[in-house]
Amino acid sequence: MTQRITIDPITRLEGHGKIEIFLNDEGDVANTYFQIPELRGFERFCVGRPVEELPLLTNRICGVCPEAHHMAGAKASDAVYHVDPPPTAKMLRELLYMAFYCTDHTTHFYALAGPDFVMGPDAPIAERNILGVIHKVGLEIGGKVIQMRKYGHEVVEMIGGRKVHPCTSIPGGLTKGITEDQRKEILKMGKWAVEFGQFSLKLFGDIVLGNKAYVDLILGDIYTHKTYYMGMVDENNHINFYDGKVRVVGPDGKELVKYAPNEYMNHIAEHVEPWTYLKFPYLKAVGWKGFVDGPDSGVYCATPLSRLNAADGMATPLAQAEYEKFYKTLGGKPVHQRLATHWARLIELLYAAEHWVELASDPEVAGPNFHTIPTEKPTEGVGIVEAPRGTLTHHYWTDERGVVTKVNLVVGTTNNYAPITMSIQKAAASLIKKGTVVTEPILNMVEMAFRAYDPCFGCATHSLPGQMPLEVTIRDAKGNPINVLKQFCE
Amino acid sequence: MKTLVIGLGNPILGDDGVGWRVAEEVAKSTANRPEVEVDCYSLGGLSLMERLTGCERAILIDSIFTGTKPVGTVSRFPLNELPDVVAGHTTAAHDTSLRNALNVGRSMDIPLPRDEDVSVVAVEAENVYDFSETLSPPVEAAVPLAVQAVLELLDAQPAASRSDNRS
């Protein structure tokens, strides 16, 4: 008799997802499916609008990383108009982006990864959340998290015109600059962010690396996959979130390809499965071989861990020291253990904070030349940035008036759809065996497999009730529920 | 009592935009009431908690998807009637629930309204997965009713004095 276990929905607030685990006659895992509904009609929605509206519209796709869509949209619009923004504009955009990264990575670590590691994967469910983390490690840390978010929002508002959904980037630069006083204020906040990044890495070292059980969990086979890794790099092959070329390395760490944004279609193809609307991107040069590891499989991963693996180092000194410690501790490059993504995320947080300080230290960022008026006839253009959860590609086509005729987006998490599917499969198969009583902690450990990727699917909707309870249904072959577990907190 | 009215949702995602539409109408009706601030917002959890900082009372307007009520049904209820599933795996992929976020904020001594001073006005939605700036007809028809519900809540006594009448 086949059994089916359904984890549905994982979340509602930022996209409704469902994990289905099918058991075979022996009670072992036969297969798993990670399904999410796709938000529909975005291209149709964009066609016929002036392209300069797209950086504003695309940032409404996602409730979590609108800043990333705004940046990719702005860069694609620059490319459509064949205009190169002046240095001040690039610095301002990048500065906004660093502040956003600090906020986003902070929230993920303290609100999502933290509960699993600070409280423990099998901690009582009512305590496994950010409030539990704060109560355990101290109110002072909660204050720092809130402060980090506040500073991040303030910088986004100063440069982007609004908190969270910035609106100032247009083809050729920005609609406004910042004052010298604002620059000094941003610099002060950046210096605090660097200290916060260092503090967070120390906390990770003390709580996670200082606990053998967690180190064993990270290094264990359950959460390990050997795939290709993608990330954007600068001319020195150091990580860059805003600009550069996309580099892909193999499971052996060697470079497979490094391409400019407008070449992405030569390198990325999409595989379709009958059980999901979302497509699975893969590397054209390697080919789709299914949901499998190894150098012959075109599956790639685009996450903080992937970015570290795909780069030769970090562009700032403190983050570089942490980068070296990371690989020394975990046995060299590349690191394949997916739970190490949480550590990689904190190294990126420190880099973002350091780069924030670098950018805000240069008086040119407050200069008056923040826009170049486009003069070329618009055609098509590609913009790529590294979103916190993966390489984000926007590709726009327009007519000669700059009116959109076609749009293609490859969003951060979509890159990771195949590896997330593989990670869930492996965790479920490792943790649920014949005779296993499927408990809440076991399901949480399955969820930890996808949580490491910080996935973000169709995340614009906010309809209440916001978060719905996890419901696990075990069904027989005819679809009749034989056991239902509802995971309410209270 | 300073009250913040927030329309929640995504204005380009069909019925998910109803919160903004209602809030915009409420703003017109309350233009001469300095104690009422109206805003539109697209985030929940920690961000929404941060937005509520300093206000004594809040009214949140949002779409709701129960699947059990007719599309366009307007409901109102206190925040603490929403299920608060805050544990790691059940909550949002990038955030926490508003109630949990409010508790986090209060433990940081951030001035925030009490749960009982946060009300929700919700409109049963139909389409929240297709990009569109248009509400479906039953949701569009519900906008005046939702506006009325918000205005009635604004005129109602604060929760503290209401609770005196409870048994």
Domain parsing of chain B, residue ranges: 3-162
| In contact, A340 and A259? CB cutoff 8 Å | no
Largest pairwise CA distance in chain B: 47
Statement: residue A472 has pLDDT above 60: no
Is B87's CB within 8 Å of A487's CB? yes
Tokens of A383: 């913009």
Largest CA distance in chain A: 71
How far is C-alpha B92 from the chain's CA centre?
17
Q: What is the pTM of this model?
A: 0.90
Instruction: Output the pLDDT for position A17.
Output: 59
Q: pLDDT-based confidence at A114, cuts 50/70/90?
A: confident
For residue B82, the chain A residues in CB contact (below 8 A) are 464-466
Q: How many CB pairs lie under 8 A apart between chains A and B?
A: 202
A37 — pLDDT class (breaks 50, 70, 90): low
Sequence-distant (≥ 6) Cβ neighbours of residue A299 within 8 angstroms: A227, A228, A280, A282, A283, A291, A292, A293, A418, A419, A422
Distance from CA of A37 to the nearest CA of B (A): 8
Closest CB from A454, A466, A490 relative to B98: A466
Which tokens belong to B41? 């917002």
Identify the residue with better confidence: A33 or A190.
A190
Give pLDDT, residue B68: 84
Average pLDDT for A153-157: 97
Residue from the list A129, A164, A456 with its beta carbon closest to the beta carbon of B96: A129
Element (H, E) at A472: strand A470-475
**Element at A192 (helix H, strand E):** helix A180-204
> Which of A464, A468, A471 is best to mutate for the B interface (most B CBs within 10 A)?
A464
Which pLDDT band, with edges at 50, 70 and 90, does A273 fall under? confident
Find the closest chain B residue to A125 by CA distance: B87
The pLDDT value given to residue A28: 83
Q: Are B107 and A25 in contact (CB under 8 A)?
A: no
- Residue A113's pLDDT band, with cuts at 50, 70 and 90, is confident
Per-residue confidence band for A1, with pLDDT thresholds at 50, 70 and 90: very low
Computed over its alpha carbons, how large is the radius of gyration of chain A? 22
Relative to beta strand A3-8, strand A18-23 is: antiparallel
Statement: A42-225+303-372 belongs to CATH 3.20.20.150? no
8 Å CB contact between A316 and A354: yes
d(CA A172, CA A84): 6
**Dihedral angle computed from the Cα positions of residues B12, B17, B23 and B29, in that order, rounded to the nearest 10 degrees:** 90
pLDDT tens column, A429-453 = 898 888 777 777 887 788 888 888 8
Q: What pLDDT, on the 0 to 100 scale, is given for residue A290?
A: 94
User: pLDDT band at residue A456, thresholds of 50, 70 and 90?
Assistant: low
Asked whether the predicted pLDDT for residue A63 surpasses 90, the reply is: no
How high is the ipTM of this complex?
A: 0.82
pLDDT at A5: 52
Q: Do B12 and A129 touch (CB under 8 A)?
A: no
Given a cut of 50, whether residue A489 has pLDDT beyond it is: no
The DSSP code sequence of B22-74 is HHHHHHHHTTT-TTEEEEEE---HHHHHHHTTT-SEEEEEEEE--SSS-TT-E
Over range A179-189, report the average pLDDT. Answer: 98
More confident residue, A86 or A425: A86
Please compute the mean of the pLDDT values over residues A199-224 and round it to a whole number: 93
> What is the chain A residue with the closest CA to B49?
A146
- Residues in A touching B15 (Cβ below 8 Å): 463
pLDDT score recorded for residue A3: 55
Dihedral Cα A163, A167, A169, A170, nearest 10 deg? 180
**Which residues of A are less than 8 Å from B94 in CB distance?**
14, 64, 107-108, 111-112, 454, 456, 459
Q: Determine phi and psi for A30, rounding to 5 degrees.
A: -90, -45
pLDDT tens for A341-356 read 999 999 999 999 999 9
- What residues in B contact A455, CB-CB < 8 Å? 93
Query: Is residue B72 over pLDDT 90?
Result: yes
Tell me which of A126-140, A168-182, A183-197, B22-36 is least confident. Answer: A126-140
The reported pLDDT for the residue numbered A490 is 27
- Which pLDDT belongs to residue A214? 92
**pLDDT tier at A87, thresholds 50, 70, 90:** very high
pLDDT at position B25 is 98
Tell me if B100 and A57 make a contact (CB, 8 A cut-off): no
Residue A463 confidence (pLDDT) above 70 = no
Distance CA B7, CA B27 (A): 10
Sequence-distant (≥ 6) Cβ neighbours of residue A63 within 8 angstroms: A13, A14, A459, A460, A461, A462, B10, B42, B43, B44
Per-residue pLDDT reduced to its tens digit, A13-32: 334 556 777 787 777 888 78
Amino acid at B154: L
Does B83 contact A469 at a Cβ distance shorter than 8 Å?
yes
Please give, rounded to a whole number of angstroms, the shortest distance from the CA of B141 to a CA of chain A.
Answer: 18
Residue type for position B69: K
Other Cβ atoms closer than 10 A to A174: 25
Binning pLDDT at 50, 70 and 90, where does residue B80 land?
Answer: confident
A465 neighbourhood in chain B, CB within 8 Å: 64, 66, 82-83
Top mean-pLDDT range of A188-202, A269-283, B49-63? A188-202
B3-162 under CATH 1.10.10.2520, yes or no: no
Give the model's pLDDT for residue A244: 98
Structural domain boundaries in chain A: 3-37+432-487, 42-225+303-372
Task: Please tell me the predicted confidence (pLDDT) of residue A236.
Answer: 98
What pLDDT does residue A59 have?
81
Per residue in A363-417, pLDDT (tens digit) is 999 999 999 999 999 999 999 999 998 999 999 999 999 999 999 988 877 899 8
Is residue A4's pLDDT more than 90? Answer: no
The answer to whether residue A487 scores a pLDDT higher than 90 is no
